Amino acid sequence: MKKNVLISGSNGAMGLKLMELIKVNFKDELEVVAGFDKESKKRDGIFIYSDLNEIKEKIDVIIDFSTPKATIIALDYAKKKKIPIVIATTGFSKEEEEMILESSKYTAIFKSANMSYGINVMKDIVAKTSKVMFGADIEIIEAHHNRKKDSPSGTAKLLADAINIANDGKYTYNLYKSSELKEREKNEIGFASIRAGNIIGEHTVIFATEHEIIEITHKAQDRTLFAEGAIKAAIYILNQTPGIYEMIDLS
């Protein structure tokens, strides 16, 4: 039996991609019955709500590709209705992260800064590399389209956290490099962000010593990659108990 999907951020590029992909490739398992965005409209027979309290359709799962503010609204709705939710949005504050964690006591939440399986393979690779590249300077460079608001990206932080966990938390993060003239710290992970054109998503982790450099890079070629990952996460989380789930749970 098909499960009914609500897409949060349905008017955005990822929301449109999700609707297209579910209709074509996952039509036997899922059906998009409603959307949520700041502007109400009707698209392909599906109503996009600007107020979740007005939703009339039965919702089985929510997929969220939106903004932190919209995510928290969708999360509150999911919590009240006990609906599983996939959160693919990034850029949350510490307080918002705590709200997500608290909500996981009431419903199943699949949360990942990146819905690409390849990025999660890269996460393991950079963590292992960091343990053998003793004393290497570590820099993370990420590039996205000019409409992305958060910087550095959630994926860049995801990769840095994987490295830090593998090394007992010894690294500090230099998230926003300024013009201040000073040498980098010994155990520092530096970040650099590029926002230009329609770049879908590129992440490079650099390990540099005095005599050699290792660069590990992931480049997304199409937004379908992220949409498909989120859809698979939605199918998975439909059968889960309340709690937080991530990409490793799909492997």
The pLDDT value given to residue 123: 94
What the block records as the tokens of 12 is 């955005």
Q: Which CATH number fits domain 117-219: 3.90.950.10, 3.30.360.10, 3.20.20.10, 3.40.50.880?
A: 3.30.360.10
Place of tokens 């926002």: 195
Question: Domains of the chain: which residue ranges?
Answer: 3-115+223-250, 117-219
8 A C-beta contact, residue 133 and residue 207: yes
DSSP 8-state assignment for residue 151: S
For each of the chain's 251 residues, which pLDDT tens digit applies?
Answer: 899 999 999 999 899 999 999 999 999 999 999 999 998 888 888 999 999 999 999 999 999 999 999 999 999 999 999 999 999 998 899 999 999 999 999 999 999 988 998 998 999 999 999 999 988 999 999 999 998 888 899 999 999 999 999 999 999 998 876 656 678 888 999 999 999 999 999 999 999 999 999 999 999 998 899 999 999 999 999 999 999 999 888 86
Provide the terminal-to-terminal Cα distance of the chain, rounded to the nearest Å: 24
Distance CA 84, CA 107 (A): 6
Strands 202-208 and 213-219, sheet pairing = antiparallel
Fold category of 3-115+223-250 in CATH: Rossmann fold (3.40.50)
Judge whether 145 counts as a catalytic residue. no
Dihedral angle, C-alpha 61, 9, 87, 89, nearest 10 °: 180
For residue 1, give the 3-state DSSP assignment. Answer: coil
Catalytic residue among 144, 157, 203, 218: 144
Judge whether 211 counts as a catalytic residue. no
The pLDDT value given to residue 3: 97
Catalytic residue among 23, 81, 145, 148: 148
The pLDDT value given to residue 39: 87
8 A C-beta contact, residue 233 and residue 146: no
**Among candidates 11, 8, 30, 12, which has minimal Cα distance to 21?**
30
